Amino acid sequence: MTNQPAPRPMVGVGMPAALHLDAFGREIDAAFGHVPYLVGTAAIGKTWRDVDVRLILPDDEFDALFPQDRPAHEDGRWGLICAAISELARFRTGLPVDFQIQRMSYANDRFPGVRHALGLHDRNGQ
């Protein structure tokens, strides 16, 4: 048996939207140094309202960007950045993207579901 990479799981956005999401993922990785993830209903099936994309940052990096002592959704900087990147993603992909930046401990504690890393194939030269 040859040692080939496992096929990428099919995501609910279909083609060519999945290619556009991957390209968007590479842009986020270039800007933040971490790949974003497709999560939520679009990560597991064809029925979805919006396309949830999450950038999960190590706690110290998240806290350096958003040092407020309040929930992220109440932070004006967090809200503006997430809204602006959501609109950029919508423009680049044609999909109704809900982009959010999350603290790693929060994401791992509250959202243990499926995560598809976006934009990885160029990292490995594939």
pLDDT computed for residue 8 by the predictor? 52
CATH of 17-122 among 1.10.10, 3.30.460, 3.60.21, 3.40.50: 3.30.460
State mean pLDDT over 62-87: 87
Per-residue pLDDT reduced to its tens digit, 26-51: 999 999 999 999 998 888 888 889 99
What percent of the chain lies above the pLDDT cut of 90?
A: 58
Q: Domains of the chain: which residue ranges? A: 17-122
Considering only CA atoms, which of 83, 101, 100, 85 is closest in space to residue 24?
85
Max Cα separation, the chain? 53
Q: pTM for this one?
A: 0.85
Per-residue pLDDT reduced to its tens digit, 15-27: 888 899 999 999 9
Residue 15: Cβ within 10 Å count: 9
